[in-house]
């Protein structure tokens, strides 16, 4: 259940990284699975219920642990939330990869990368938690903003030479965000279960147009 050994990332309990008293004499900082269990339980709770409705007690119960231990390890609910939602994905991959693959398939490549990233269960839990919490929690909203900026807006505006790159990036953001909401959070059919290929064919040209084609040529109503 615990993803991998986090020997350099996890500072152990609240006291922090470098042990102050030399190599202490007591019990070794036992490589317990508990901390990772709590993180996993937190991701599940935040994804299912959002930040406000997820409780420390609920997370602790899910991990089979006392609520106080959660605070002991992470300091506060907010800090737990931040740590639980740290993304394993390197930034810029989705869109940057798409840009490198050639401009004529840019839209389709972005949609495919986006969907394949989200369809992985571990990532899906983190991003669902982020989205579900974003609308009532400022920290989560900032996370989404930064994620969009890093993953979509930044690479797009950097790569495109056009002057209205920011609006184009925003348009891509609306389409991808709406897709994520319906498919992963609200789980509305048939888009929730549609195969990736079908969505790539449906949404790819949309993003392609937002990024590379003329946006002023639409017909008016």
Partner DNA sequence: TGATGGACTCAACAAGCGTTGAACACACTG
Partner DNA sequence: CAGTGTGTTCAACGCTTGTTGAGTCCATCA
The footprint of DNA (CB under 7 A) covers 12-13, 15, 19, 21, 24-30, 32, 34-35, 54-58, 64-72, 75-78
Contact of residue 69 among a copy of itself, DNA, none (CB under 5-8 Å per partner type): DNA
Counting contacts by CB under 8 A, is residue 14 touching a copy of itself? Answer: no
User: Quick check: 152 and 89 in contact, CB under 8 A?
Assistant: no
Contact of residue 21 among DNA, a copy of itself, none (CB under 5-8 Å per partner type): DNA
Q: How far are the Cα atoms of 30, 31, 111 from residue 78, in angstroms, in the given order? A: 25, 24, 32
Counting contacts by CB under 8 A, is residue 171 touching a copy of itself? Answer: yes
Counting contacts by CB under 8 A, is residue 146 touching a copy of itself? Answer: no
Q: How far are the Cα atoms of 98, 183, 219 from residue 179, in angstroms, in the given order? A: 18, 6, 25
Min separation Cβ 39 and a copy of itself, Å: 21
**Smallest Cα–Cα separation from 183: which of 118, 103, 86, 129?**
118
User: At how many degrees (to 10) do helices 56-63 and 34-53 cross?
Assistant: 150
- Candidates 16, 21, 161, 218; binder of a copy of itself (CB under 8 A) is 218
- Candidates 59, 173, 184, 211; binder of a copy of itself (CB under 8 A) is 173
Counting contacts by CB under 8 A, is residue 104 touching a copy of itself? Answer: yes
How is residue 29 written in tokens? 């900082």
**Given 3-state DSSP classes, what are the helix, strand and coil percentages for the chain, each rounded to the nearest 5?**
65, 0, 35
How is residue 13 written in tokens? 């309990």
Min separation Cβ 57 and a copy of itself, Å: 16
Exposed/middle/buried for residue 154 (C-beta within 10 Å: 0-12, 13-18, 19+): middle
Contact of residue 119 among DNA, a copy of itself, none (CB under 5-8 Å per partner type): none
For 93, half-sphere exposure in the C-beta direction (CA atoms, 13 angstrom radius) is 11
Contact of residue 68 among DNA, a copy of itself, none (CB under 5-8 Å per partner type): DNA
Site for a copy of itself in 50-69 (CB under 8 A): 50, 52-53
Alpha-carbon gap, residue 36 to 74, rounded angstroms: 11
**Which residues form the interface with a copy of itself (CB under 8 A)?**
49-50, 52-53, 98, 101, 104-105, 108-109, 111-112, 131-136, 141, 144-145, 148, 166-167, 170-171, 173-179, 181-183, 185-186, 188-191, 194, 197-198, 200-206, 209-210, 215-221
């Amino acid at each position: 259940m615990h993803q991998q050994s986090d020997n350099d990332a996890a500072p152990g309990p609240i006291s922090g990284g470098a042990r102050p008293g030399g190599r202490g004499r007591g019990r070794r900082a036992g490589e317990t699975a508990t901390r990772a269990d709590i993180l996993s339980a937190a991701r599940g709770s935040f994804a299912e219920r959002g930040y406000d409705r997820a409780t420390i007690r609920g997370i602790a119960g899910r991990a089979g642990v006392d609520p106080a231990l959660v605070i002991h390890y992470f300091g506060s609910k907010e800090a737990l939330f931040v740590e639980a939602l740290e993304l394993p994905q390197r930034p810029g991959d989705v869109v940057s990869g798409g840009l490198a693959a050639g401009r004529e398939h840019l839209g389709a490549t972005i949609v495919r990368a986006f969907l394949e990233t989200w369809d992985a269960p571990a990532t899906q839990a983190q991003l669902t938690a982020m989205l579900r919490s974003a609308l009532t929690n400022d920290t989560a909203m900032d996370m989404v903003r930064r994620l969009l900026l890093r993953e979509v807006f930044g690479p797009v505006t950097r790569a495109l030479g056009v002057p209205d790159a920011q609006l184009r990036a925003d348009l891509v953001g609306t389409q991808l965000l709406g897709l994520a909401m319906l498919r992963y959070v609200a789980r509305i059919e048939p888009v929730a279960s549609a195969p990736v290929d079908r969505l790539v064919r449906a949404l790819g040209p949309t993003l392609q147009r937002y990024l590379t084609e003329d946006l002023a040529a639409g017909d008016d109503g």
